[in-house]
């Protein structure tokens, strides 16, 4: 005789522990992309197979996990719970694979780091190079993203720590101070403002501006300050990197606001003048963000201790100078 089990009974709760990782990966990818077909394409499986895996998850859970709408799929309340569960299980599965590989190769630690490109060029690249030299037994997986996206991957447990430009909203994360930079106004060498010792933001709002894209910390900061002044920025060109931004400025397409020390090599190479931005908010602070200090594994804690301990000495030495770097914040 078949026994019907309620979705709320312990039997189903226990059964949830036995999902294979691929089914959870398909479900999570489909929910994040809002599309079963896109998830199937990304994971290189047939659409029918992807749909079948999600259907089996729903059967075992005894409750609908997704809603199919004309514009795509959406997770139900139970689906959101399953998404959180899937992230945890997949993270543990990935960590197990890494740890086993570490035993085979002799590496004894692994840390996933996500960081803003401004932080990478200004400070982090140099610090990580020193850390790897001092700790060859710890492997780093580094990914560059804008600050807002970095926060998202830390919240979703896709990175152990994120290093951001302060200003983006950070909720539910532990935040630790880590260095900073100073914004400056970049102008062509022959520009009428090039010989000024300093400039205010209001001084340049009548100028054509070369700017980064809207999702970057610099753009968000400047647009917010312009609104506070009751002004609009005259953005003439938007680009994806500091390198291209400096190139546009050197050709006279406008002026821009950039982290001074990070772009000094580019400015020197392209004949651009960097003028001090005389605003209290021109000093930007960097921060390390993570889910919880209590949940840190030893290699991650060692990296955080190294980064925070290197703060003063690195500020005195200055940033890593790399003229080909292309930061986006």
* 89 pLDDT higher than 60: yes
CB 245 within 8 A of CB 239: yes
Phi, psi angles (nearest 5°) of residue 314 = -70, -35
Query: Could you tell me where the DSSP H helices lie in the chain?
Result: 10-15, 21-33, 36-43, 47-61, 77-105, 117-119, 125-134, 147-155, 201-204, 217-228, 242-250, 260-270, 298-309, 311-317
Region of 98 (left: φ > 0; alpha: ψ -120 to 50; beta: rest) is alpha
Which has more confidence, 168 or 207? 207
- pLDDT one-digit tens code per residue, 231-287: 999 999 999 888 899 999 999 999 999 988 878 888 999 999 999 999 999 998 899
User: What proportion of the chain, given as a percentage, has pLDDT over 70?
Assistant: 85
Query: In this model, does residue 314 exceed pLDDT 50?
Result: no
Out of 42-56, 161-175, 192-206, 307-321, which region has the weakest mean confidence (pLDDT)? 307-321
Mean pLDDT of the chain: 83
Most confident of 19-23, 90-94, 140-144, 211-215: 140-144
Whole-model pTM? 0.57
pLDDT value of position 120: 85
Lowest mean pLDDT across 94-103, 123-132, 201-210, 315-324: 315-324
- For residue 142, the model assigns a pLDDT of 93
What pLDDT does 249 receive? 95
Q: Which pLDDT belongs to residue 14? A: 42
**Alpha carbons 155 and 139: distance in angstroms, whole number:** 22
| Domains of the chain and any CATH numbers | 10-87 (1.10.10.10), 100-179+284-317 (3.40.190.10), 180-283 (3.40.190.10)
Closest CA to 221 of 315, 147, 325, 113: 147
Q: Say which DSSP state 121 is in.
A: I
Range 100-104 average pLDDT: 65
| Cα angle: 130, vertex 131, 137; to 5 degrees | 130
The residue to which tokens 């979705």 are assigned: 7
- Residue 93 banded pLDDT, cuts 50, 70, 90: confident
Which pLDDT score is estimated for 315?
46
Local confidence band at 171 (pLDDT 50, 70, 90 cut-offs): confident
The pLDDT assigned to 137 comes to 85
């Amino acid at each position: 005789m078949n026994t019907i089990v309620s979705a709320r009974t312990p039997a189903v709760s226990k059964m949830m522990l036995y999902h294979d990782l691929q089914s959870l990966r398909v479900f999570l990818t489909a929910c994040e992309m809002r599309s079963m077909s896109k998830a199937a394409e990304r994971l290189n499986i047939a659409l029918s197979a992807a749909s079948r895996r999600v259907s089996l998850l729903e059967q075992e859970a005894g409750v609908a996990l997704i809603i199919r709408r004309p514009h795509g799929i959406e997770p139900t309340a139970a689906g959101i719970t399953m998404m959180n569960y899937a992230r945890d299980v997949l993270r543990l599965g990935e960590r197990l694979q890494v740890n086993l590989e570490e035993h085979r190769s002799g590496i004894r630690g692994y840390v996933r780091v996500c960081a803003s490109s401004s932080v990478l060029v200004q400070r982090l690249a140099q610090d990580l190079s020193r850390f790897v030299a001092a700790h060859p037994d710890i492997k780093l997986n580094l990914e560059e993203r804008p600050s807002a996206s970095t926060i998202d991957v830390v919240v979703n447990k896709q990175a152990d720590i994120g290093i951001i430009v302060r200003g983006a909203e950070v909720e539910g994360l532990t935040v630790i101070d880590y260095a900073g930079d100073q914004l400056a106004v970049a102008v062509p060498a022959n520009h009428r403002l090039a010989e000024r010792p300093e400039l205010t933001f209001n001084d340049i709002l009548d100028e054509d501006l070369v700017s980064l894209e809207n999702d970057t910390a610099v753009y968000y900061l400047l647009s917010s300050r312009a609104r506070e002044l009751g002004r609009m920025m005259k953005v003439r060109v938007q680009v994806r990197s500091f390198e291209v931004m400096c190139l546009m400025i050197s050709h006279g397409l406008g002026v821009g606001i950039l982290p001074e020390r990070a772009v000094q090599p580019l400015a020197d190479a392209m004949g651009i003048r960097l003028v001090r931005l005389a605003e209290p908010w021109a000093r930007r602070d960097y921060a390390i963000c993570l889910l919880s200090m209590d949940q840190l594994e030893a290699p991650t804690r060692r990296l955080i201790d190294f980064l925070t301990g290197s703060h003063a000495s690195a500020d005195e030495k200055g940033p890593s100078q790399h003229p080909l770097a292309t930061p986006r914040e």
